[in-house]
Amino acid sequence: MSSETFEILMSGNSGEAELLKFHPSTGRYLIGTITGWLIVAGCLFYGIGLPILLFVWIQNRCTKYTITNQRIKIQEGIIFRTSDEIELYRIKDVKVHYSILNQLFDIGIVTLLSSDPTTKHQSLRMFYVQKARDIRETVRNLVEQSRRRRGVREVDVDPMPYQ
């Protein structure tokens, strides 16, 4: 099979459309978290924060979150990369974690719980997301649309603990 054929098969006519693509926000992380403030102070006063700042920036640039009308993809890692994706109709709950400082600078951690067998007993997290509450609402609405489109109903048999 030629690479062109493979590309055509992979793109397909699945009706999947990319809606959002973003990275964790390094700038908001630096001003919106205590850890970020410590890194900035380390850069300003001691110079030791610079390598840490560089590492955080590279780590955030190597992390990519993609939301489509069918699934959420999370790619992360600098040397060893991992890629995880979850079908929207399998998402059971969406939470946003944020401190008072996070609220001031409008960032948060979006946590997804799903019924997917590969992520059943762990949550997927999107760290230091700008406008995390808006992202949460977007995901929640997309989950409902996906379930309606597929005719999926949710039935809880046992409680799902957060980790």
Instruction: Please tell me the total count of domains within the chain.
Output: 1
Report the distance separating Cα 66 and Cα 52, nearest Å.
26
Which whole number is the average pLDDT over 106-113?
Answer: 94
In a domain, 26, yes or no: yes
* Domain residue limits at 64: 18-150
Q: Is 3 helix (H, G, I), strand (E, B) or coil?
A: helix
In a domain, 160, yes or no: no
Which whole number is the average pLDDT over 65-71?
Answer: 94
CATH, residue 81: 2.30.29
Say if pTM beats, i.e. exceeds, 0.85: no
Q: How confident is the model at residue 162 (pLDDT cuts 50, 70, 90)?
A: low
- Structure confidence by residue, pLDDT tens digits, 88-97: 999 999 999 9
Q: Mean of the per-residue pLDDT values for the chain?
A: 85
- Structure confidence by residue, pLDDT tens digits, 111-153: 999 887 777 678 889 999 999 999 999 999 999 999 998 887 7
In a domain, 45, yes or no: yes
Q: Of all residues in the chain, what percent carry a pLDDT higher than 70?
A: 85
**52 CB neighbour count, 10 Å cutoff:** 14
10 Å CB burial of residue 39 (0-12, 13-18, 19+) is buried
Q: Tell me, what amino acid is at 12?
A: G
In a domain, 140, yes or no: yes
In a domain, 162, yes or no: no
Residue 23 has pLDDT above 70, yes or no: yes
In a domain, 156, yes or no: no
In a domain, 53, yes or no: yes
In a domain, 1, yes or no: no
